[in-house]
Chains A and B, each alone.
Chain A
Amino acid sequence: MRTRVRATINGRQREAEVDTRMILADMLRDVFRLTGTHIGCATGNCGACTVILDGVTVKSCSVLAADVDGQEILTIEGLPNAPGELHPIQEAFVRNQGLQCGFCTPGMILSTKVLLEQNPDPSESEIRHGIAGNLCRCTGYHYIVTSIQDAAATLRAEPDAG
């Protein structure tokens, strides 16, 4: 069975006819070629497929594409303010070596965005709880936390940058 999905993706109104079996992560990657959304486990564990759906983080492997009709989605591609630029959170990850292989990074960064919106000055413990749904198999958590602390400081100093 096929069904029509209309959604705002990274600020643009998009539309597609998809198989009802398609998960949101596959629609983003295969239909709209937004391949920054990674699929690690497809069982809701690893968080590599994290996107922001109507303002909150979700794991897009565990959401049906057909079920986001009429909703708003932000993927890692939509995070920078302008094409070719990096968002301050991305810059902080680069500056602090907050990524090794990079597979978990899009999910980590989107979780960071929502965490810092809700809590602009998180403690280290709050940061670790905030990214509990994102696994880094390189185990690079130490510098990920440092990156998030740096991003938080940057965004507090320049609230408009994010």
Chain B
Amino acid sequence: VITQEFDFHAPTAVDEVLGLLADHGEDAKLLAGGMSLMPTMNLGLARPTRVISLNHVDGLGGIREDGPNLRIGAMTRHAQVARDPLVATHAPALREAAALVGDPQVRNRGTFGGSLAHADPAADYLPVMAVLGGSLVIRSSRGERTVPAKEFFVDVLQTALEPDELLVEVIVPRLAEGDGSAYRRLARVEGSFAIVSAAGLVRAGRATGLVAIGGVAGQPVVVDVSSEIAEGATPEALAAVSSAVESACVGAFADLSGDSEYRQAMAGVYARRVIEAAAAASR
């Protein structure tokens, strides 16, 4: 039961949202899919006095191709990301991540932009965005700006968003011909938060190898493993990837799901797996 009283707004246009945020940004909470906000409000952990629903706003959903990029509307539901043919073709790691978010009901309601703006370190999209190098389009009544993913995620549940700003769209670079990518996660059971997650990217001809690890720090830990895989994803190269990533994850988060050393070790294991899979998908 939500005890805190709040004013509820259900705007239908982006400009209306921006106007509300300009007037009330400091005490308003944006409600997208509600998969994090609603449980925390039910538990009394979040007590906003004003809730602005984005569920009826036109023009915030959908996925389209734009030159070398995909543009994904912030209110696109996880289930749409997971079954979109453009995503499957041009950002397959993002499709893998979307298909692993929560459970079917969560994927039907939860949104791509909501997950990014919430910035839970265990969220599936964060490491994928970190390796793909996407950027986020942010609007307010003051104007529009585009922020690279690596600057958008600041710390646990903290982003570059100002109180009067709305995340409207995410720009995801399409993989080039011959690039390979992959996403894997370690979780206790389906639907539970990732203990460690990993995204890997291997550019055509093994020109670049990148790993990003989620769930170990306030933002994804990105490790350049280009030199490790220069001669191919051999067992020795993959072992080197593991140890490079383990070194980068010193001091990993600890909680009931695993202590710091366990997370660090698993980061190495999952880094190896995503680089192996990404290398197999690249040419």
Contact = CB atoms under 8 A, between A and B. Distances in A.
Interface stretch (B13-21, B97-105, B138-146, B173-181): B97-105
A97 interface: no
Contact of A57 (B6, B34, B42, B108): B108
Query: In the complex, which of the residues B6, B43, B105 has the most CB atoms of chain A within 10 Å of its own CB atom?
Result: B105
B190 A129 contact: yes
A133 B104 contact: yes
A interface residue count range (under 10 / 10 to 19 / 20 to 34 / 35 or more): 20 to 34
B133 interface: no
Interface string A114-129: 1100000000000001
Contacts of A94: none
Contacts of B3: 21
Given A20-B7, A57-B108, A132-B104, A44 B2 contact: no
B69 interface: no
Contacts of B79: 56
A22 B6 CA distance: 11
Interface in A142-159: none
B109 interface: yes
B110 to A, nearest CB: 9
Contacts of B31: 64, 67
Contact of A21 (B4, B56, B106): B4
Given A23-B42, A61-B42, A64-B34, A133 B6 contact: no
Nearest to A69: B10
B240 interface: no
A20 B8 contact: yes
Contacts of B231: none
Interface string B5-35: 1111010000000000000000000010011
A75 interface: no
Query: In the complex, which of the residues B1, B35, B56, B104 has the most CB atoms of chain A within 10 Å of its own CB atom?
Result: B104
A42 interface: yes
Interface in A36-88: 42-45, 47, 50, 53, 56-59, 61-64, 66-67, 69-70
Contacts of B2: 21-23
A133 B103 contact: yes
B39 A43 contact: yes
Interface string A1-30: 101000000000000000011110010000
A114 B38 CA distance: 23
A91 B4 CA distance: 42
A104 to B, nearest CB: 13
A24 B3 CA distance: 15
A20 B2 CA distance: 9
Given A67-B55, A132-B191, A57 B104 contact: yes
B48 to A, nearest CB: 11
B51 interface: yes
A67 B55 CA distance: 7
Query: In the complex, which of the residues A45, A50, A56, A59 has the most CB atoms of chain B within 10 Å of its own CB atom?
Result: A59
A73 to B, nearest CB: 13
A50 B6 contact: no
Nearest to B6: A20
Contacts of A43: 39, 42-43
A29 B213 CA distance: 43
A115 B51 CA distance: 32
A63 B32 CA distance: 10
Nearest to B4: A21
Interface string B231-264: 0000000000000000000000000000000000
B8 A58 contact: no
B34 A1 contact: no
6 contacts: A3-B8, A20-B7, A58-B109, A59-B105, A62-B109, A66-B10
Q: Which 3 A-B pairs have the closest CB atoms?
A: A133-B103, A62-B38, A20-B8
Interface of A: 1, 3, 20-23, 26, 42-45, 47, 50, 53, 56-59, 61-64, 66-67, 69-70, 111, 114-115, 129-130, 132-133
